[in-house]
Amino acid sequence: MKIYTKTGDNGTTALFGGTRVPKHHIRIESYGTVDELNSWIGLIRDQEIDTHFKTILNQIQNKLFTLGAILATAPDKALLKNGKARLNIPKITENDIAVLENEMDEMNTHLPEMTHFVLPGGHTTVSYCHIARTICRRAERISTHLYDNEPFDKEVLQYLNRLSDYLFVLARKLTHDLHVDEIKWIPEKKD
């Protein structure tokens, strides 16, 4: 299989189901940002971290491929006239969201209570988590814009929202595990 097809040379690309759209289309922006997020999560997974986190991050990466496939499918191509799925794309489920929530709850049992906003940084791995978190928030913003115009399964938005929270808690947990000081944001006092 050749990687290059030359079909996108005119600035368009095909969605799942064959619909062609401009490469700057909001749908492409949404799943392209999810792809970017997935790459950053791969970088976090490649760090010297606990194998449990590596396993969860691998599961997340797989879910992000599912999520990207959902975002890459135009609504008119997703279902047949009888309401059955036209394409065999898995769903993001409430259980997928619960996994992230359970992981956060478990990590939080080992962390001090948060009393301030936290400045990103302190260790390269922690910084990667914060970069992934902000990209996840961007993916969420773009996807909500798409959802307002062409709705899809709401669990996609819930998963992105929960994932950004997970990445924040993971950054805090790795700060703790790596024995790095958490840098609190303390606003400057006005004179």
What pLDDT score does 12 carry? 62
Q: For the chain of 191 residues, list the mean pLDDT of each consecutive stretch of 10.
A: 68 64 76 96 97 98 95 71 62 96 97 87 96 98 95 95 98 95 84 70
What pLDDT score does 104 carry? 98
What does the domain layout of the chain look like in residue ranges?
Answer: 12-78+91-107+118-177
CB 155 within 8 A of CB 96: yes
What pLDDT score does 60 carry? 98
Tell if the pTM clears 0.85, that is, is over it.
Answer: yes
Residue 186 CA, chain-centre distance (Å), reads 29
User: Quick one: tokens of 41?
Assistant: 């999560």
Residue 168 phi, psi dihedral angles, 5° rounding: -65, -45
Query: What dotted CATH number matches 12-78+91-107+118-177?
Result: 1.20.1200.10
What pLDDT score does 16 carry? 67
What pLDDT score does 102 carry? 98
What pLDDT score does 20 carry? 64
DSSP labels, the chain = --S--STTTTSEEEPBTS-EEETTSHHHHHHHHHHHHHHHHHHHHTSS--HHHHHHHHHHHHHHHHHHHHHTB-HHHHB-TTS-BSS------HHHHHHHHHHHHHHHTTSPPP-S-B-S-SSHHHHHHHHHHHHHHHHHHHHHHHHHHS---THHHHHHHHHHHHHHHHHHHHHHHTT----B--PPPP-
Nearest to 53 by CA among 159, 112, 125: 125
What pLDDT score does 11 carry? 73
